[in-house]
Structure 1
Amino acid sequence: MDEEPLVSVVRGTPTPEELAALVCALAGRSASEDSPSRKPTPTPWTRSARPAAVRPSWRSSGQPR
């Protein structure tokens, strides 16, 4: 193996749990960049908190639903 490692510990002696947490964090970070980003759809609960975002204007916000 003549390749350099992707991650190396420079200082300290991490526990196996700490190394596992680091690997999981790095894997999660790289996976999010590879997958296409999708804008999450708002839930009905989120939409109810922002009724003005659904209304076309401030005039219609006072009208019954």
Structure 2
Amino acid sequence: MAPPQEPVLRVVKGDLSTEELAALVAVVSARNAAAAHAAARATTRRPRSEWGHPARAHRTSHRFGPDAWRRSAWA
């Protein structure tokens, strides 16, 4: 059996109904989940798409010859 832990949330003043307490817990947990998601997303980096890379804007003129259609995409 695990030792009892301290409560995460404590109502200090007022008399909450069961519904009000459930709403408070839902809001606090949603806010914590959003903060955790934002922190996790900030630490992971997605690879940059090559389609929007600025180097693709600097293209040379079309070259003629065998396999020219293939080389035209990367020239």
Larger CA Rg, structure 1 vs 2: 2
When normalised by structure 1's length, the TM-score is: 0.48
| Higher-RCO chain (CA-CA 8 Å, sequence separation at least 6) | 2
TM-score, normalization by structure 2: 0.43
